[in-house]
Amino acid sequence: MDLAVLEETLAARGEPAYRTRQVWEWAARGAAGFEEMTNLPAALRAALGEAVPFSTLSRTAEARSKDGTVKALFSTHDGHPLETVLMTYRDGRRSLCISSQSGCPLTCTFCATGQMRFHRNLTASEILDQALYFRRLGPISHAVFMGMGEPMMNLDAVLEAARRLPDVGITPRRTTISTVGWLPGLTRFVSEVEEPIRLAISLHAPDDALRSMLMPVNLRYPLADVLAECERRFELRHQKVFVEYVMLRGVNDRVEQAAQLARLLDRKIYKVNLIPYNPTGAYEGSSRDAIAAFKNVLDRARLPATVRLTRGRDIQAACGQLAAERAVEVTPC
């Protein structure tokens, strides 16, 4: 819901200021329409139904994976595509993977979104409406800004949305913002954000030469500068920084590269997530054995590391597979 439009509509009708909050609280708790908001006068509910679209997004397709993952494809009012994924786990976690942009201007070579056209930044309302859509289907415990786009290029909208997520039931500690290390946004995030929102950094290589090959953005913002900001975050907030490392066969998965990574990262500050590569055409994923051997080196260096579970592969909903233009054709409702 466009909260600015809501506020203007209420103000124009001479409604008291607390009405915006009332409407928001209903939406945040999963209401499906104004008619459910029983503490609002019936006439007002009807008027809002006429004047304020309940969502800034329309859902154009949805797909369900065998493992319970749900992917929704949305369109903004001006026709730009984006995708959102809900992952459910045996321990009861229900984690939402949120998009911050339609498409992405960065061209990480292994990422499907990086290969599609960049449309635009999403507004805070468009980011929140992804969460509200899924909240209507059931409770959500975690949110990760790991969908389409680079959140640190759209930091104001991302933070405005993230700061409302607690009303949806997702605490700051259970909210993670993932970044390539886009320094203008990252520096601001570290300096300004006092909430314990988690930071994850997409590293994928232990040195600048390889990282620049995989992620051209590294030419602009090299490793040392990115890691310096992560370390500043740790000093200020005493919260571990997650490192994402997608495992590409013969590219970044050798045990020597694991040793290099262990030397690069302070084990008090970082926790490494090894991500099995989800095929998007460009590379081959590392074998299970190679991932185990890589992890073993990190374990021996006592650098905390886990291997991420892959979800939603069968519906192209796994990490880095979100390329909405294609999804329109392959996953109709």
226 binding ligand SAH? (CB under 6 A): no
Token code pair at residue 87: 């992952």
Give yes or no for residue 280 binding ligand SAH (CB under 6 A). Answer: yes
Quick one: 111 or 223, whose CB is closer to ligand SAH? 111
Comparing CB distances to ligand SAH, the nearer of 111 and 157 is 111
> What is the total residue count of the chain?
333
312 binds ligand SAH (CB under 6 A): no
Q: How far is the CB of 49 from ligand SAH (least distance, A)?
A: 35
Cα gap 96→64, rounded to integer Å: 14
Residues 6+ apart with CB under 8 A from 199: 176, 177, 179, 189, 190, 230, 233, 239, 241, 242
Closest CA to 178 of 216, 151, 217, 153: 151
d(CA 302, CA 181) in angstroms, rounded, equals 25
Report how far residue 226's alpha carbon sits from residue 320's, in angstroms, rounded to the nearest whole number. 21
Active site residue 83: yes
Closest distance of CB 146 from ligand SAH, Å: 4
178 is a site residue for ligand SAH (CB under 6 A): yes
Query: Closer CB to ligand SAH, residue 24 or residue 245?
Result: 245
Q: How far is the CB of 4 from ligand SAH (least distance, A)?
A: 26
Among 202, 218, 257, 286, binds ligand SAH (CB under 6 A): 202
**Bridge-partner residues for 176, per DSSP?**
144, 198
Phi, psi of 308 (to 5 degrees): -75, 140
- Residue 244 within binding range of ligand SAH, rule CB under 6 A: yes
Of 83, 126, 150, 229, the active-site residue reads 83
The distance of closest approach from Cβ of residue 11 to ligand SAH in the complex, given in angstroms and rounded to an integer, is 36
Q: Please give the Cα distance from 150 to 104 (Å, whole number).
A: 7
Q: Which residue is nearest to ligand SAH (CB)?
A: 320
Asked if 180 interacts with ligand SAH (CB under 6 A), we say: yes
Q: Nearest distance from residue 322's CB to ligand SAH, in Å? A: 8
Give residue 276's identity as a one-letter amino acid code: P
Q: Which one of 2-10, 23-31, 176-184, 190-198 is the stretch in contact with ligand SAH (CB under 6 A)? A: 176-184
> Which secondary structure element, helix H or strand E, spans residue 274, and what is its range?
strand 270-276
| Token pair belonging to 216 | 């051209």
Per the residue annotation, which of 25, 192, 319, 325 is the catalytic one? 319
Whole-number Å distance between alpha carbons of 320 and 136:
25
Instruction: Say how far apart CA 243 and CA 278 lie, in whole Å.
Output: 17
Q: Which stretch binds ligand SAH (CB under 6 A): 31-39, 46-54, 189-197, 277-285?
A: 277-285
The total of other beta-carbon atoms located within 10 Å of residue 219's CB is 11
Q: Rounded to whole angstroms, how far apart are CA atoms 320 and 73?
A: 15
* 74/62 Cα distance (integer angstroms): 9
Q: Which is nearer to ligand SAH, 110 or 270 (CB)?
A: 110
Looking at residues 101 to 120 of the shown chain, list those that interact with ligand SAH (rule: CB under 6 A).
110-111
Contacts of 218 (CB under 8 A, 6+ apart): 180, 181, 208, 211, 212
Contact code string over 5-44 relative to ligand SAH, x by CB under 6 A:
----------------------------------------
Q: How far is the CB of 316 from ligand SAH (least distance, A)?
A: 10
Q: Closer to ligand SAH at the Cβ: 147 or 169?
A: 147
The residues binding ligand SAH (CB under 6 A) are: 110-111, 146, 150, 178-180, 202, 244, 246, 275, 277-278, 280, 319-320
Catalytic annotation, residues: 83, 319
